[in-house]
A and B are shown apart, each in its own frame.
Chain A
Amino acid sequence: MSLLADVLTVLLNGLQQGAIFALLAVGLSIILGTLKFVNFAHGALYVVGTYTGLLVAHEIALTSGKLQSWGFTSLGLDLGFFAALVVVPLFVFVVGLGMERFVARPFYDRPDTDQILVTFGLAIVVQELFRILFGSNSLPFDQPAWAAGPIALPVVGNFSQWRLYVIAITAVLVLVVYALVEYTDFGLVVRAGTRDAEMVRLLGIKITRPYIVVFGIGAALAGVAGVVGGPLNVVNPTVGTDILVPAFLTVVIGGVGSIVGAVIGGVIFGLTTATLVAVAPAWSQIGLYAIAAVILLTRPQGILGNEEVAP
């Protein structure tokens, strides 16, 4: 009984962590696969999402930062979590559109290294802006009242409700994006563009609009990851740089451009981390990087990647 319960708990924990990785990775992966753009600022979008979500969902007391010194002792709309789940994706979607237009587009024709460098610089700028405005202290992000506390599951026993919601929300969102890319005309153009952008252009299809939308969707997913992950993680400006590396590895091991691959990658990482946390906590982070290294070296295009898509 107890062993089975333990195993299932680890499994659920792993799925939940994998869900956050997958949310970030799906966005990153479709941007990298379709637009061939390496976005090191994806973590910054997570930060934007998590702060916006916090401010929409709750009212928080500020203890440091410029906003506090300007006289805002408490800030936030306190509209509840559902509002945050609606507002944040829309907001970060718009941020993503702006980013595609003004940052990514000028860099499509420049080398990968330049794309990495400029988005890395942008990530630092965003991180510092949030640090200056909100201070470097971690802010509390409470779980919504209706999902706080544990729930009694059969066999498993008590398990955090919120973690289950994270898994469910992620599953729904990823399915929506998957359907969008696989079964709509929009998705058809995007997939065709992934294979051969020039050919699509020659056929008279304006590919810039699908591109900008893809970037927006990817950004919105990162924003949602920030909202659902906020109550499980800390909310501070450096969380973006901390989460970027695992997210990138998820993309790469899953296979660039593949949504299913990103989900598989996320689940593998989540399960590995959760298992190691339970068995050998000191090694929990190392396992993730070791797996990534092994997969990259043995199957460089990733689990579901195909060589021609990989840049």
Chain B
Amino acid sequence: MSDETQDATAQGAAPSEGVAEKEGFAGYELDTAREPVVVGATALFVLVFPYVFARMPVVSGILQGYQGLATLMLIWGIFALGFDLLLGYTGLLSFGHAAFWGGSAYAAGVFSQFAAESLGFEAGPVIIVVVGTLFAVLLAWGLGFLSLRRGGIYFSILTLAFAQMMFYLSSAPLSGITGGENGFTAVTVGHLFGVFELESELPSVLGTLMGTWLYAFVGLMTVVSVAVAYRILNSPYGMVFRAIRENEQRTEFVGLNVWRYKLMSFVISGAFAGVAGSLFTIHGNYVPLQSLYWTESGEIVIMAVLGGAGSLFGPMLGAGIYLYFENIVSGVRDLTVPFTDIVLLQGFGEYWHLLLGVLFVLVVWFFPRGIWGLFQDLRNRVTGGDSAAETGGER
């Protein structure tokens, strides 16, 4: 990766003197200076989130959160983060990311079974994530190579077609390996670093804050993912992604190899999906066949756009909101006026998906920068400053 980054710097810097302004690279300096803040804030959030969400008095009572959902939100958050690299920054709408999510989930599961049954050891979470991610990267390389030959809606449809092929492959012809309709159940996950049971509680204060080792592991991966994504996006390499989004032709004319950057963006995005998919297997000890279906690709699209495509944290927020609706709001029986028993709407939980759909349409229609973009606008109005560039959220 570092080779390519340097290469990109060399390629990107030379023509920029003539064509682009210096501004972009001055921004780069500024953004790296903010990197510890961004990563630190993420780490802090990850540290206290399960406590606030699932155990803190009053707050968790209102939110109705639980530990497992907190873990799941971070996992989908990683997926959304990677997806946004492609949609929000490079401007490519893939409708086939279920292939990388489900594919890596299956790869992780199948590998853990292989290790337990044929190699005679219980694969730890780290190696499982490595294997799943490698699978996703290779797959993304292949599918990206084919899909990126076409732009616009054709790209969306090609990715969709390839992902559906994966779905039908694992549903019937490969059902001997994948378990077909029933999903993959033979997941065997060993201890973290060979020592810590994933479901066991962390020691002392950490246990109160974060709960289990599983969450700690997922949390660590989240922080690493945010750091990596932030570094990529604010490097000259990531600048090229944005340039492609803004004007592909002009980027080409400047002398950059657009095709290669698009492919790399696709592969990196697939890698994030791979990390998330493998974690999903570890978290649930199960891979549903549904994880490859195209509606799953649709879900990640909704998450990213709802939260705010083109910002670092927006899609993660979107993932949280989506999962909150799917798991908590769907369980609400009657909508009441807060703190009273007056029922406004019976069977409110049924409407969760409809509500999300309506919310999504509204966001696409009126707030293309998503909920995160709304927050930024609000903050700008209060402070009077222009902060869009800080998070790379200009769109």
A interface vs B, CB < 8 Å? 38, 106, 112-114, 116-118, 120-122, 124-125, 127-129, 131-132, 241, 245, 248-249, 252, 281-283, 285-286, 289-290, 292-293, 296-297, 300, 310-311
| Bound complex: CA A149 to CA B162 (Å) | 38
Contact of B149 among A116, A121, A292, A300 (CB under 8 A): A300
Report whether B173 and A128 are in contact in the complex, using a CB–CB cutoff of 8 Å. no
Report whether A297 and B361 are in contact in the complex, using a CB–CB cutoff of 8 Å. no
Bits for B346-379, please: 1 = Cβ < 8 Å to A, else 0: 0000110110111011001100100000000000
Report whether B158 and A296 are in contact in the complex, using a CB–CB cutoff of 8 Å. yes
Contact of B358 among A112, A113, A125, A131 (CB under 8 A): A125
Known: A116-B93, A117-B364. Is A293-B160 also a contact (CB below 8 A)?
no
Known: A120-B301, A121-B364, A252-B154. Is A289-B165 also a contact (CB below 8 A)?
yes
| Bound complex: CA A122 to CA B302 (Å) | 12
By size class, the interface of chain B is 35 or more
Q: Residue B392 at the A interface, CB < 8 A?
A: no
Known: A128-B354, A132-B350, A300-B149. Is A114-B368 also a contact (CB below 8 A)?
yes
| Bound complex: CA A129 to CA B361 (Å) | 14
Report whether A38 and B153 are in contact in the complex, using a CB–CB cutoff of 8 Å. yes
Report whether B358 and A245 are in contact in the complex, using a CB–CB cutoff of 8 Å. no
| Bound complex: CA A124 to CA B364 (Å) | 14
B333 CB to nearest chain A CB (Å): 14
Chain B residue at minimum C-beta to C-beta distance from A120: B298
A246 CB to nearest chain B CB (Å): 9
Known: A121-B364, A286-B173. Is A112-B160 also a contact (CB below 8 A)?
no
Report whether B157 and A124 are in contact in the complex, using a CB–CB cutoff of 8 Å. no
Report whether A283 and B365 are in contact in the complex, using a CB–CB cutoff of 8 Å. no
Contacts of A112 in B (CB 8 A): 152-153
8 Å CB interface, B75-130 against A: 87, 91, 93, 95
Report whether A289 and B364 are in contact in the complex, using a CB–CB cutoff of 8 Å. no
Contacts of A121 in B (CB 8 A): 302, 357-358, 360-361, 364
Report whether A245 and B172 are in contact in the complex, using a CB–CB cutoff of 8 Å. no
In the assembled complex, 7 residue pairs joining A and B whose CB atoms fall closer than 8 Å, in A order, are: A116-B95, A117-B301, A118-B365, A120-B301, A121-B357, A121-B358, A293-B146
Report whether A128 and B357 are in contact in the complex, using a CB–CB cutoff of 8 Å. yes
Report whether B168 and A296 are in contact in the complex, using a CB–CB cutoff of 8 Å. no
Report whether B165 and A297 are in contact in the complex, using a CB–CB cutoff of 8 Å. no
- The 10 A-B pairs of least Cβ separation, nearest first, read A282-B172, A128-B354, A124-B357, A121-B361, A125-B357, A285-B168, A121-B360, A289-B165, A113-B93, A117-B364
| Bound complex: CA A282 to CA B180 (Å) | 11
Bits for B153-169, please: 1 = Cβ < 8 Å to A, else 0: 11011101110110011
| Bound complex: CA A293 to CA B353 (Å) | 32
A222 CB to nearest chain B CB (Å): 18
B interface vs A, CB < 8 Å? 87, 91, 93, 95, 146, 149-150, 152-154, 156-158, 160-162, 164-165, 168-169, 171-173, 175, 294-295, 298, 301-302, 305, 350-351, 353-354, 356-358, 360-361, 364-365, 368
Q: Which of B354, B360, B364 has most chain A Cβ within 10 Å?
A: B364
Contacts of A114 in B (CB 8 A): 364, 368
B331 CB to nearest chain A CB (Å): 16
| Bound complex: CA A124 to CA B358 (Å) | 8
| Bound complex: CA A248 to CA B158 (Å) | 10
| Bound complex: CA A154 to CA B171 (Å) | 38
Contacts of A127 in B (CB 8 A): 357
A65 CB to nearest chain B CB (Å): 10
Report whether B146 and A297 are in contact in the complex, using a CB–CB cutoff of 8 Å. yes
B177 CB to nearest chain A CB (Å): 13
| Bound complex: CA A283 to CA B174 (Å) | 10
Report whether A116 and B153 are in contact in the complex, using a CB–CB cutoff of 8 Å. yes
| Bound complex: CA A114 to CA B156 (Å) | 12
Contact of A296 among B154, B169, B302, B357 (CB under 8 A): B154
Chain A residue at minimum C-beta to C-beta distance from B149: A297
Report whether A283 and B173 are in contact in the complex, using a CB–CB cutoff of 8 Å. yes
Report whether A124 and B360 are in contact in the complex, using a CB–CB cutoff of 8 Å. yes
Known: A121-B360, A128-B353, A252-B154. Is A293-B169 also a contact (CB below 8 A)?
no
